[in-house]
Structure 1
Amino acid sequence: MYLATLPIDAAIGHILRHNLADHAGHKLLSKGRRLTADNVAQLRALGIETVRVAVLEPGDVHEDEAARRLAEAVCGPGVIATPAVHSRVNLLAEADGVVEVDAEALLAINDVDGLTIATLANHTLVRARQRVATIKIIPFAVREEELARAEQTARARGSVVGLRPLRPTPVGVLLVSSPAARGRVERGVYPAIEARVTALGSTIVATRFVPPDERAVAAAIEDLRSVGARLLIVAGETSIMDRDDVTPQGIRAAGGHIEHYGAPVEPGNLLLLAYLDGPGDPLPVLGVPGGVRLPDLHLGGLPLPLALAGERVTRPETLELA
């Protein structure tokens, strides 16, 4: 591609580089348009004799076609592409779920001159039809070999931008508190947990209330598992204050292990992530801080949606909260 200023008759079939307005200042022709004979007649009527255009050469790929092809290459499961318009394609979520972005592949593609992909952060919770990424081709055309290199990078990874859909999951809730604080915990903490779970398409199937005793915690965990809970949320009168606090000790006593304690967010840093092995898939346990009452607590932004999307949340995913 090269840029030129041509007589209007010689510009037919080439790409207009800038918007053109009529004598009243109203937009007449938009940049990016391939000029036609009718357009030239419009320009001639305004007394315009030359026009700035982009001229494509053999081996150039038009911006809309480049955007379409790149979208086809980077789209993973659960993501659909809109038609290319003005060198832009939006990638949309097919369902409620968690965005998965291959950061290494994304960086490699964005390193190709003229190609850009902007995405939501990895593991962002999205709703169906929400935009998760935008592909924008910067010039009016890119070279075939450059586009092919980006396509090869994307296809070699399998998915650059994908989606893990939320799965309806039976959830068990364990509330740990002294008898004196039970009413306050049930009125304040439980409704907040229930609202989060319901909003993510899952259901609380059982709730247990126990005093702060590791044996009672362990017994309640085993009980919740036995009645069919496939994810446990533990909360209580106070946040978990240490890896060896009562709740973590109870999780260990039930046969679980602590995956990670502490999250780089405020509020919400006293987050515990644990798993119980046993029959079937490992059972995730989220020990949530008192800030679960807050609607904007980051807890709802990563560990819970990820777990409900069927992903095993580990220490690295928790650190991504920063």
Structure 2
Amino acid sequence: MASKMSGPVNDREQRYHETLHNVPKAMSELMSSYAGVPRDEQIAHITKLRNEAYAQFPYPCMGTFRFLDLDLARHAAYKDHVLAPLCQPAVPGKPEPLFLDCGCCLGQDLRKLVVDGALPHRLWASDIEPRFIELGFELFRDGDKLPRDHFLCPGNVLIDTQDPSEDQLIKLNDNVTILSISAVFHLFDLEDHKRIVNRCLKLLRKDTGAPVLVIGAQVGAQEGKRVPRRPHIGGYRYQHNSESWEALWREVCGQPQWKDHVEALEVKAKNFGRIRNEDPEADEVITLSEPDPTSDARLWQMFEVWVTFRSSS
């Protein structure tokens, strides 16, 4: 599975910013309160790590410092449906919630959860690139704070295997109650989307009779469509509107291996306009607004997928 950092960008957008003018407010607070990096040292610290990462993984979202936006924390469902259950004390006799960030890259969303009060032992992350995970520990200076065995690599949602050398995610099969997967689906074509949905369903907890959540964000579209990848990569990827996104989940959940086990499915998705904020004092790298077909803003889709399994499955 490709990291969330490797998302495509519009050709109109600049793919590399040599200079970081300011650290967005939420990330700056995270760097000072959690990582212990003073505000006057943050730009240098972040730029050094970014340059090291970009030399190995020249992805546009790394080149443009896109990773400084904490996407999960600004999702409409974050406080009530992600953070709240992860902060609640354990209840005797009831399973604790388990969070997985699939395609975590530098693990910025997971660190934000820790600062906001989520219990660290409930938090897991995965990526296909082990170097991203190590760079995350360097960026946040927290090698002694978080359990490294909760960072699974490789985490490959495109394959179906029982071999942990190919996919460490099998350790969490049937255990995840909150699965965050952002900037992953839009890297692939529709048939791969079906494989990813199937892999997500395998990860989700099925024995409580309560709904479990898949949450995230990705490039959106006014109509579901295939679009060509950049020429040096080749092939196609698929971008969803709310209707095609729901149809994808209903198709997979209706397949023989799932139709008798999924009791209820609720799919929510909303598109926003996404445009780079060039203000050097901006609180965000990317600004989200209501979609405006007359503007140059790209469409960015935030989604929630609630799945309820029959508890006897």
Superposition TM-score, scaled by structure 1 size: 0.25
Which protein has the larger Cα radius of gyration, Structure 1 or Structure 2? 1
What TM-score do you get using the length of structure 2 for normalisation? 0.26
Instruction: Tell me: higher relative CO, structure 1 or 2? Use CA pairs within 8 A at least 6 residues apart.
Output: 2
Select the structure that is richer in strand: 1
